[in-house]
Amino acid sequence: MKNKTKTTLTFTATVFTFVFNGLRKYSTINKINHFVIVLFLSFFCISGNELKAQISYKVLFLGNSYTGVNNLPQIIHDVALSVSDTLIFDSYTPGGYQLIDHSLDVISQNKIMTGGWDYVVMQGQSQEPITFPLEFSSGANSLYNLIKQYNPCAVTMPYMTWGRKNGDASNCATFPVMCTYQGMDTTIRNKYLNLTLSLNGEVSPVSVVWNYIRQNYPNIDLYQADESHPSTAGSYAAACCFYATLFKKDPALITYNFGLNANDASIIKNVVKTQVFDSLHLWDFKRLPVSDFHYQSGSGVNEVIFNPMPQGVRQTYFWDFGDGSTSSISNPSHAYASDGTYIVELTTTNCDLQGVHTSTTDTLIQFCSHTPTIYTSQPWLCNNDTLWTQAADSYQWYAYGLPIPETNQYLSNYYQYGITGFSVISTLNGCSELSEVFAENAVWSGYYFDALGDPCIGDTVAFAVLHISGFLSGSENILWYKNDTLLPFMTNEDTLFISAPGKYECKVINPNSNCPIDTTYSLLEYDCGIVGIKERDPELFWSIFPNPASETIIIKFTKYPVQEEIQIHSAIGCLTKVIEASETTTVSIAGLPNGLYFIRLKNSKQPPIKFIKQ
């Protein structure tokens, strides 16, 4: 790969004179032909001209008026030139454009497809990260895929814009974070940081620079009269920020001031130095490739399904299955023609301005005359049940592809490791083979719990037993505890009224269910001395945010990856939405009426999580 950086040598006039006189004296003494001196001076002059442009980058800017006003790319070019660096650029900045607009625009596409870019800067519409987060993300991803197709080693650089000078009154009611500059600015900043992380790129943190100037140098007005677009000073601050992040150089070296007075220009350059250049690692989210993977047996004969663990890294894949077959997709499946031992190798690759990066991992898999299978003691699976496999010489159990301590024929109380996704390697006569994944979910009782309010501020809170069907059967055994002491007078009551702090627990058993030994329970703690009300469930491994929410919610599974169906129910039990779960699931709730909702996993014992749509 061509090196973009040319090493520089600086000769002062004094050094030049010293060298020249030394050569002249030496040539007189030693009769050196003056041609040698001329040759040296010619080389020096040529080298000096060549070294004048220390770094040269080709950068494409895709944005809107925030980039177009004052011609930001040209300012960056002039700023770089003042330090003997070169910015070759092209730009496309239609007013009001969102990232999704650029991804669909033929002009933007053609500029990307021209190729040869070192960086592609993408700037969304000023309110877009908050008002249209899904379009913001999907537009950026579409652009990224096209960029990498035609510019494999180019770096994507989101342009982190700022909050409006006094917030955005037109969107305040719908998006409260936009009511103030600080709320809007902080939210936009986080959105751009998350976007850059997902794209494995670098971010130009212009809003960080603006925020610091606003707080410490309020006399420098960064806004035009519309309190949105950048003034001359605002564009200059953005240009200095881009120079530091693109060229990785101290902005104090810049001598071009874009018409600003020397004092204001010096302040802006120093802010960029302290907030951006001195901590460049904070704005660089590029990550090296990861080749870790695990595999599971498929339903076909000698079929294997391979699952990489990229941890969010953008990369390409090359699989060598060890039998002469290969694949370049991320999650391939492969069927082997015969039993035997195979070495599977995965090589992952990504690329940036520093070159091509690779990572390689291999593992050994076997197909034996025996094929392990996982069984349950009943036709259905109950919580805390026992899983088992056929007799063999030794065993190793796995949960979600990761080894667990169990090395016996029986896996008792499986629920301590997760709710599904188990497999086992059994070894017989020296040959080890992996079972198919056991993907059944336990029969769920349908019970969940709810408590609204806070007794620490004088209210009485109802801690209630509920059922997804909307009513209890009447055959349940319900036990209530306070501070681990049974409350016998509350046995089989569906509601406990709480008016004092403490630790409260409810256990429910339905003797008529398919799994009569299962206990559904919930634990709540009220500690008025610390946080008022604290609600927790020791088994809870998922969460939602933000809550309350108006447009979207994010459901995150923190303990185990889950392949499950997410259901959203209204407060009266009506099913309103169904979504397939992933480790992090973004759900649009814009079409739901305002009110209280419950989110549950279809086939899980996990109690529902409540959220408020507002």
C-alpha span between 503 and 514 (Å, rounded): 30
CATH number of 539-614: 2.60.40.1930
Architecture of domain 443-538: Sandwich (2.60)
Q: Is 188 exposed, middle or buried (0-12, 13-18, 19+ CB in 10 A)?
A: buried
For the chain, where do the domains classified as CATH 3.40.50.1110 start and end?
56-283
Task: Return the higher-pLDDT residue of 562 and 425.
Answer: 425
pTM of the predicted model as reported, rounded to 2 decimal places: 0.66
For the chain, where do the domains classified as CATH 2.60.40.10 start and end?
293-367
Q: What is the pLDDT of residue 22?
A: 45
CA-wise closest residue to 165 among 204, 103, 210, 117: 210
Q: What is the pLDDT of residue 326?
A: 97
Q: What is the pLDDT of residue 537?
A: 40
CA dihedral sign, ordered 312, 313, 314, 318: negative
Given a cut of 50, is residue 385 above it in pLDDT? yes
Residue 415 banded pLDDT, cuts 50, 70, 90: confident
CA distances from 66 to 162, 183, 228 (A): 10, 20, 9
C-alpha span between 550 and 554 (Å, rounded): 12
Average pLDDT over residues 292-299: 90
Q: Which two tokens stand for residue 190?
A: 């986080």
CA-wise closest residue to 507 among 541, 525, 473, 484: 484
Share of the chain above pLDDT 90, in %: 62
For the chain, where do the domains classified as CATH 2.60.40.1930 start and end?
539-614
C-alpha span between 278 and 429 (Å, rounded): 61
C-alpha span between 56 and 353 (Å, rounded): 12
**What pLDDT, in 10s, does the model give residues 466-504?**
998 888 989 999 999 999 999 999 999 999 998 888 889
Task: Return the higher-pLDDT residue of 348 and 3.
Answer: 348
Instruction: Report whether 307 contacts 401 (CB < 8 A).
Output: yes
Is CATH 2.60.40.10 correct for 293-367? yes
What torsion do the CA atoms of 569, 573, 574, 578 make, to the nearest 10 degrees?
Answer: 30
CATH homologous superfamily of domain 56-283?
SGNH hydrolase (3.40.50.1110)
Q: Which two tokens stand for residue 93?
A: 């900045």
The answer to which of 46-60, 154-168, 199-213, 409-423 has the lowest mean pLDDT is 46-60
Average pLDDT over residues 360-378: 92
Phi, psi of 528, deg, nearest 5: -70, -20
Task: Return the higher-pLDDT residue of 526 and 31.
Answer: 526
> How many angstroms separate the first and last alpha carbons of the chain?
53
Given a cut of 50, is residue 41 above it in pLDDT? no
DSSP state of 501: -
**What pLDDT, in 10s, does the model give residues 303-339?**
999 989 877 899 999 999 999 999 999 999 999 999 9
The answer to which of 48-52, 122-126, 132-136, 150-154 has the lowest mean pLDDT is 48-52
Largest interatomic CA distance in the chain? 116
